[in-house]
């Protein structure tokens, strides 16, 4: 499979290659054509084909839509989940910022659609623009170092080191670091909505 290197920011090239391979294998195992899966996920067939070939730079929300359309979730596609009673995480670097930051998915719930634990670093000047998650989705944030700026509902909220917040992620929002020092924060994500294929509607 030919993999186009990722841009200077966005999903990492190894993550894109892994996701593409997983999507294609799971789609075929489910007996779905590319057109059928694209329709279920409400994405274009061209986008799905490019993702499967590792040639697209999809948003993380688009990857989650495709996962849900297959009756699974983002974490399962990323390969960060585990099912043992005490299960070590399998960190997966998912995103790289233009200024050098990163987002790593560390561990997920064994429950389909359960919470995800992320470690984010925003270098000075980094910004991550997110698309809205399904209605009712939310995130819990804990700033470990630096000062994080959240941009949501046309306003900015600043969180200093040690501060925490709950973010309703069912709207457009962004993480930003306009300061001179790196920002590091932990992020717990809970995506709302139906997770099983037989409950989804095209």
Task: Give residue-wise pLDDT tens across range 2-19.
Answer: 222 334 467 788 888 888
Task: Give residue-wise pLDDT tens across range 100-113.
Answer: 999 999 988 877 77
Where do the domains of the chain lie?
A: 10-72, 92-190
- Tokens read off for 135: 């209605």
Mean pLDDT of 30-51: 92
pLDDT at 176: 97
**Residue corresponding to tokens 């930051």:** 101
Bigger pLDDT: 65 vs 168: 168
- Tokens read off for 6: 């990722």
Beta 116-122 vs 183-190: how paired, if at all?
antiparallel
What percentage of the chain reaches a pLDDT higher than 70? 86
Task: Give residue-wise pLDDT tens across range 151-193.
Answer: 999 999 999 999 999 999 999 999 999 999 999 999 999 988 6
pLDDT of residue 98 exceeding 80 = yes
**In the CATH hierarchy, which top-level class contains the domain 10-72?**
mainly alpha
Residue 11 φ then ψ, to 5°:
-55, 140
pLDDT of residue 44 exceeding 70 = yes
CATH number of 92-190: 2.60.120.10
pLDDT at 7: 42
What is the model's pTM?
A: 0.72
Beta 173-176 vs 127-130: how paired, if at all?
antiparallel
Query: Could you please report the per-residue DSSP string of 128-169?
Result: EEEPPPSTT-EEEEEEEES-EEEEETTEEEEE-TT-EEEEE-
Confidence label for 200 from pLDDT (cuts 50, 70 and 90): very low
Domains 10-72 and 92-190 alike in fold: no
Mean pLDDT of 127-152: 94
pLDDT of residue 201 exceeding 70 = no
- Tokens read off for 191: 């995506």
pLDDT at 58: 83
Secondary structure letter of residue 9 according to DSSP: S
pLDDT at 83: 58
| Mean residue pLDDT across the chain | 84
């Amino acid at each position: 499979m030919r993999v186009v290197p990722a841009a200077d920011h966005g999903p990492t090239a190894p993550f894109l290659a892994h996701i593409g391979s997983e999507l294609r294998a799971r789609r075929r195992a489910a007996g779905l054509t590319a057109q059928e899966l694209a329709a279920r996920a409400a994405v274009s067939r061209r986008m799905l084909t490019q993702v499967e070939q590792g040639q697209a730079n999809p948003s993380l929300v688009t990857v989650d839509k495709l996962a849900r359309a297959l009756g699974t979730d983002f974490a399962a596609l990323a390969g960060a989940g585990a099912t043992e009673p005490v299960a070590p995480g399998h960190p997966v670097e998912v995103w790289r910022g233009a200024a050098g930051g990163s987002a790593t998915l560390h561990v997920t719930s064994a429950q389909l659609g359960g919470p995800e634990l992320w470690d984010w670093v925003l270098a000075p000047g980094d910004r991550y623009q997110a698309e809205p998650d399904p209605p009712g989705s939310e995130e819990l944030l804990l700033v470990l170092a630096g000062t994080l700026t959240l941009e949501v509902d046309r306003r900015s909220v600043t969180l200093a080191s040690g501060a925490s917040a709950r973010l309703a992620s069912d709207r457009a929002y962004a993480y930003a670091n306009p300061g001179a020092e790196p920002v590091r924060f932990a992020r717990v994500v809970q995506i709302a909505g139906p997770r099983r294929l037989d409950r989804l509607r095209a």
